[in-house]
Every structure is written in structure tokens, then in C-alpha cells.
Structure 1
């Protein structure tokens, strides 16, 4: 079991965060953005940044090359749809994508938007960690969480038409 701190400060103990999110064992700070047969997309629960989406496989795999052909097609299609919705609905012009193979749970891709306020932390990939920590430690307040939840609903509405 792993202890994970959510954006609301609540600490949960789960074996697999993705399974806990998909099954509803851990409540999302908002709602699911979109779900397909193979993937589940949600606002990241640890970092309250509008439009930060995690796209996770429903299957326990860790590497891109473990996806079946059907999963690969679904992955790129849903990733593209989410990105289009981020641009159209939230006005997000730039996104950083991250995926790592040493994860302790499901294959997943982080879609981290780039907002103007983030440039005070730098302009390169190295600035992402300080941005995420700033969001967790400073932006975890009622007003921002309300905006994050609004963004989730807007993305979900666009993607689930």
C-alpha cells in the first residue's frame, strides 16, 4: 500500500491509484474528463492546475510498447481529443506531455498546461516540478479549486458530447 496526498490535503492509502480512481474508491477533485474502453482521463488529484489531465490505461501495464494495437489507436485518438478540448475550451496554447516507465501503477500520460504565471519558474522542462509544487502548496485554496472544477466540467462537456 502507498500513501498519496491529494490536492485537498487528504492522505489516502491505496495499492494502485489508477484502479482506485477508476473504481471510485478515491474521489476525484471534480469528475472524470472522459473515459473509453481502454483509458480513463481525469484532472490530476495532487496538483490543482486548470486543465492538467492524466490519461491512464485501465490495464496494469507500464510501457507504451505494451499497449495492444486497439489501445494504441484509442490512446492517440483520446490524447488528441483532450488536447483539442484544452485549446478550444480553456484557451491552453501549450502543453507539456510526460510519461514514465518506472511508475508504480498504470501507464499514464500527464498533460501539463503552460500558463503565463508559470514562466516565473523558468521556461524549460526543469520548471515543471517547481510549478507543480507551487500549485500543491499555494494554489490549493477554495477559489482555485472552484476554477479547477469548472475547467474539468467544461472539458468533460466538450469531450462527452
Structure 2
């Protein structure tokens, strides 16, 4: 078991944070954006950026090539659906996608939107870490968190029609 501090300060003991989130043992702050048979999408409010979505597999795997054919089809379909909703509901024109296999969690993809304010950190993938840290350290206030949660609600509403 590992002790993990959630973005709201609550500490939980879990074997795997992703498993706890995707199984509903832990409710992500702001709630679930959309869920399918194989995947679970939520926003990590530790990085309070409207529309930043984490799409995680429900099955405990680490690598893209471990997905079954059904999971691969579901993954690309739900990823595309989320991206379309980001554009339609939140006006997000550009997104960076990240997936890594050396994580302590299991297979998940980060969908990090690009907003105009982010360009002061650069235009390349190297700017994403400073953007995330800026959001965590400077945008973690009541007003912005309220906007992020409203974006979560709006995306969820669009995606679950």
C-alpha cells in the first residue's frame, strides 16, 4: 500500500491510484468526465487548467501494446470524442498528448490543452512542464478551480449526451 496525498489535501492509502480512480474507490475532484467499458476520463485538478483530461485504462496495464483489440478501438474512439468536445465546448484549438510507460500508475494519456497564456512559456513540448507547474502554483485559487470544475461539468454533459 502507498499513501498518496490528493489535490484536495486528503491522504489515501491505495495499491494503485489509477485503479482506485477507475474503479470508483476514489472519486476524482470534479467528478468523472466520461467512462466506457475500458476507460475512465477525469481531470487532475492538481493542475487546474480547463480541459486537461487524463484518459486511463481500467485494466491494470502499463503499455499501449498491451491493449486488446477492443480496448484499442475504445481508446481511439473515446480519445477522439473527448477531443471533439474540448473544441466544441471549451474552444480548445490545440492539445498536447502524453503517454509514458515508466509511470507508477498504469496506462493513461494526458490531454493538455494549449491556451494563449501558455505561450509565454514557449511553444514546444518543453514548455508543458513549466505550464503545469505554473498552473499548480499560481492558478490554484478558488476562482480558477471553480472555472475548471465548470469545464469538467460542461465536458461531461457534452460527452454523456
Is TM-score (shorter-chain normalized) higher than 0.5? Answer: yes
Alignment of 1:8-157 (within 5 A): 8-157=8-157
Using the alignment, how far apart are the partners of 1:8 and 1:115 within structure 2?
24
Normalising by structure 1, report the TM-score: 0.94
Unaligned runs of 5+ in 2: none
**Where do 5+ consecutive residues of structure 1 fail to align?**
none
Taking a change above 3 Å as real, the CA distance of residues 142 and 86 of structure 1, as seen in their structure-2 partners, is same
The 1:127–1:5 alpha-carbon spacing in structure 2 relative to 1, beyond 3 Å, is: farther
Aligned length: 161
CA-to-aligned-CA distance 1:35-60 (integer Å, 9 cap, x gap): 00000000124211100000000001
Give the Cα separation in 2 of the matches to 1:72 and 1:142: 38
Cα displacement (A) at 1:5? 3.9
- Aligned alpha-carbon RMSD (Å): 1.3
Distance 1:73 1:103 in 2: 23
| Structure 1 contact 6–45 (Cα < 8 Å) conserved | no
Q: Is the 8 A contact 1:89 1:158 kept in 2?
A: yes
Contact 1:43 1:51 in 2 (8 A): yes
Q: 1:67 to 1:81 in 2, by over 3 A?
A: same
Note if contact 1:5-1:46 (Cα within 8 Å) is conserved in structure 2. no
TM-score normalized by the length of structure 2: 0.94
